[in-house]
Amino acid sequence: MNKVKVLIEGYARENEDSWSASSTVTLVESNGKKIIVDPGCNRKRLLDELADNSLATKDIDYVFLTHSHADHALLAGIFEDAKIITSAEVYDNDNQTEHEDIIPGTDLEIIQTPGHSREDCALIVPAEEGTYVISGDAFWWMDDEEQIPNIEKEDEAHPAEVDMQSLIESRRKILEIADFIIPGHGRMFKIEK
């Protein structure tokens, strides 16, 4: 059965003249494959968390990116043996192939969740305790915000890219599927159905 572990709870906070933000980093184990979802941009913390879980960068088979923003994707290249999976393709070094909305060799489904950006996607992970959806920034919160899954909450992070109508539809889709949502920034939460 698939296993899910949040290695780093994503954070986002505005400083006096800058931002501190890095995505939630999740480890998924499926059918003997180890997948990192959104490795973020905090290198030291990621390497420490891998070591704390008896993992090295070479142990990871796939890196799944929910979207290409640097706070989610910057560290994808540190996994020297991993294939990189985006919303449409699998990258094996310089070889690009389209995927069929499944991480190869697993039962992990990729769904398109545009709105925060056009290429956003999420990962569905069936597990013994329920279905996880690793949502990327379809759902995310600032550190000081109350974490309530409001489908109409404005996404002001990248205003030139955000399509609120598409984002609302993506959030609805995720809420219909998920028992647990792992957001792009903030703590995992359970959906009460």
Cα–Cα dist 54/48, whole Å: 10
In the chain, % of residues over pLDDT 90: 88
For residue 161, the one-letter residue type is E
CATH number at residue 25: 3.60.15.10
Q: How many domains does the chain have?
A: 1
Q: If DSSP codes are grouped into helix, strand and coil, which group holds residue 158?
A: coil
Query: H or E stretch including 52?
Result: helix 43-52
Q: Give the per-residue pLDDT at 164.
A: 94
Domain that holds residue 34: 3-190
Mean pLDDT of 59-70: 97
Q: Give the DSSP letter string of 64-132.
A: E-S---HHHHGGGGG-TTPEEE-SSEEEETTEEEE--SB-TTS-PEEEE--SSSTT-EEEEEEETTEEE
Answer yes or no: is pLDDT of 161 > 90.
no
